Amino acid sequence: MKRRNILIAVSILLLVVGAFFLGRWTAAPKKKEVLKKQVARAARKQAPVPVSTVRAKRPARVAIVMDDFGYNMNNAEALFAIGKPVTLSILPNLKHSRDVAESARQHGYEVILHLPLESNRNGVKEEAGTLKPGASEKTVVEQLTKDIGSVPGLAGVSNHMGSKATEDRILMSEIFSYLKKKNLYFFDSMTSEKSVCGEVAAEMGLRFAKRDIFLDNEENVESIKKQMIELKKLALRRGRAIAICHDRKNTVTVLADAMPDMAKDGVAFVNLSELVR
């Protein structure tokens, strides 16, 4: 009996020892596998992200529209020498309307018609053929045909003055109907806070954009520089901005200095057509 008990005890001891070593033997690969996975995860966290997977921040897009071309060619070459996109807005039927348009196209610049429309201000000098509320549809079509014909290669139309006209739904609907047939967009200079152009364009499905900021309401260099700074801030904050300036020597001088620096700060200058919706 005593011998039997000893054999049983030895057997139990052997089973316990065997189970212990068996557990270690089976657990070791699992621990190694877990450790291997942990090391791999850590390596992935430390590894640099491939350049191809990094999404570059898109530059803020800015369109500058320069109004009132057509009287002369004085500032055109200096503007083209800047080498940055500026959209030229040309008054119709003037001595140099066609000359500016053709020269701009040769230099790769976008051209739009600066369409004379009636203002609310009294005593302002109007361009010949200024369109006014109450004009017949025939008059509107004939004048638009003549004006567009005097500025070859244009991509769109903006309003010259026009604070009264752009508040008139009937007149703007007639103008927009013609522009849509000609596949031309409309750019609202926003000379009136009561402009209906955005609403009418949306209703008619006409491509449209509007001005965000004026650059040279004051013609001195320092004022224009300050407005360029405001333009940059606006563009970087919103991702896009549209500015209006005028065919003036001081304005071209400031643009020549400011545009290259703004490009370095994350501003991409584009044609107006790229910001039309």
How confident is the model over 141-188, as pLDDT tens digits? 999 999 999 999 999 999 999 999 999 999 999 999 999 999 999 999
Contact assessment for residue 65 and residue 244, using Cβ atoms and an 8 Å cutoff: yes
DSSP line for 177-228: HHHHHTT-EEEE----TT--HHHHHHHHT--EEE--EES-SS-SHHHHHHHH
Contact assessment for residue 166 and residue 200, using Cβ atoms and an 8 Å cutoff: no
- Say what percent of the chain tops pLDDT 90: 78
**Which of 61-70, 120-129, 192-201, 207-216 has the weakest average pLDDT?**
120-129
- pLDDT-based confidence at residue 36 (cuts at 50, 70, 90): low
Which position has the higher pLDDT, 2 or 189?
189
Residue 109, CA distances (Å) to 26, 104, 106 in order: 76, 5, 8
Closest CA to 190 of 67, 27, 99, 18: 67
- pLDDT-based confidence at residue 203 (cuts at 50, 70, 90): very high
pLDDT at 39: 43
pLDDT at 45: 46
Residue 10, CA distances (Å) to 15, 20, 70 in order: 9, 15, 113
pLDDT at 12: 55
Q: Using CA atoms, how far apart are residues 71 and 181, in angstroms rounded to an integer? A: 29
Residues 6+ apart with CB under 8 A from 98: 150, 151, 152
pLDDT at 76: 97
Residue 137, CA distances (Å) to 95, 113, 134 in order: 27, 19, 9
Residues 6+ apart with CB under 8 A from 21: none
pLDDT mean over 70-76 = 97
Instruction: Kindly tell me if the per-residue pLDDT of 47 is higher than 50.
Output: no
Predicted TM-score of the model (pTM): 0.79
Structure token digits, residue 132: 């006014």
Which position has the higher pLDDT, 2 or 213?
213
Say how far residue 215 (Cα) sits from the centre of its chain. Answer: 17
pLDDT at 27: 45
pLDDT at 55: 37
Residues 6+ apart with CB under 8 A from 270: 61, 62, 63, 85
Say how far residue 125 (Cα) sits from the centre of its chain. Answer: 33
- pLDDT-based confidence at residue 251 (cuts at 50, 70, 90): very high
pLDDT at 67: 98
The stretches of the chain forming alpha helices (DSSP H) are 2-46, 76-82, 97-106, 137-149, 169-181, 197-204, 221-238, 249-264
On the CB side of 161, CA atoms within 13 Å amount to 18
pLDDT at 58: 80
Closest CA to 63 of 86, 79, 82: 86
Closest CA to 176 of 195, 157, 192, 162: 157
- Say what percent of the chain tops pLDDT 70: 79
Torsion sign across C-alpha atoms 106, 111, 115, 120 = negative
Stated as kind and residue range, the H or E segment containing 89 is strand 87-90
pLDDT mean over 193-201 = 98
pLDDT at 127: 97
Instruction: Kindly tell me if the per-residue pLDDT of 53 is higher than 90.
Output: no
Q: Using CA atoms, how far apart are residues 56 and 74, in angstroms rounded to an integer? A: 40
CATH number of 60-121+128-275: 3.20.20.370
Average pLDDT, the chain: 87
